[in-house]
Amino acid sequence: MPRADTADLALDRITVGYGRPKARVTAVQDVSLRVAPGEFVVLVGPSGCGKTTLLRIAAGFVEPTRGTATVRGEAPVPGSATGVVFQQPRLFPWRTAGGNVAFALARHGVPRAQRAARTRELLEQVGLAGMEGRRTWELSGGQQQRVAIARTLAGEPRVLLMDEPFAALDALTRERLQEEVRTLAAASGTTVLFVTHSAEEAVLLGSRVLVMAAGPGRIVTELEVGLERGPGTDVAALRGTPEFSRLRGELAAVMRQASPPPRAD
Ligand SMILES: Nc1ncnc2c1ncn2[C@@H]1O[C@H](COP(=O)(O)OP(=O)(O)O)[C@@H](O)[C@H]1O
Ligand SMILES: [Mg+2]
């Protein structure tokens, strides 16, 4: 297989069917994709096209019906080289913000004596300095998602898988988190596969965008995003540039083509 050794994440001809043989749903069919080390790839497509299914395959949560998935050359094992951030933060409600992060550190074998300091560092990294004692119900939706990101970073994942992580947040919080995730990934060189159904978010974050269509789920096209974005990039200013608008428009058009409206007849 060419290039397999240079990819951090590789899906090769993945097909996934759900349900019993008589009521089979082909969620994704014959999907291949590669994400190079340090690359930020975005997967977009309409609801039901199989985005979550592909992420679950990459995370090692489910086995494909056909095809192979590899993370850094090996079959994916949940929680080893990959870290997953879901749309809902799914925190332990009986633990504090810090407790949720410390629990993840413990699971990844960080010695007890180092956990408090590392928890503080991780919460600081996601903009929650000094919040370790907060109860989860005292946190806003955005803050809870920040804790969820810190908890995932606790495992020092080589490959970060994010499934519409900001979809439930208000616009301003969403913009801030987009900027922070982009900066975090660029600074740490983490490989990212990010799922969204927003053209704007895809162009803002991705260096490459893979567009999916449904029925069955498949990748129909790919868009390179040539925008300059380093750790110091002012994302708000980037949104105002003509190049950004052009790319967003182009992607939105491709997405509309990939998911035609239901026929009226
Ligand atoms: N556990 C499951 N059992 C049966 N069908 C499923 C299951 N998970 C997803 N599907 C179906 O597979 C297709 C793809 O779902 P999903 O991967 O969640 O898409 P997306 O994340 O793009 O919205 C949909 O038709 C969905 O109904
Ligand atoms: Mg989904």
The full set of domains in the chain, from first to last, is 4-81+159-258 (3.40.50.300), 90-156 (no CATH)
* 147: Cα separation from own chain's centroid: 15
In the block, residue with structure tokens 């879901």: 86
Ligand 2 centroid to 23 CA: how many Å? Answer: 21
What is the full DSSP assignment across 14-71?
A: EEEEES-GGG-EEEEEEEEEEE-TT-EEEEE--TTSSHHHHHHHHHTSS--SEEEEEE
Least-confidence region, from 9-13, 81-85, 106-110, 174-178: 174-178
Ligand 1 centroid to 20 CA: how many Å? Answer: 14
Asked whether residue 18 carries a pLDDT value surpassing 50, the answer given is yes
Which ligand ends up closest to the CA of 214? Answer: 1
Atom of ligand 1 nearest to the CA of 56: 17
Ligand 2 centroid to 232 CA: how many Å? Answer: 31
Asked whether residue 5 carries a pLDDT value surpassing 70, the answer given is no
pLDDT of residue 111: 97
* Ligand 1, residues at Cβ distance < 6 Å: 18-19, 25, 27, 45, 47-53, 217
Residue 22 pLDDT level (bands cut at 50, 70, 90):
confident
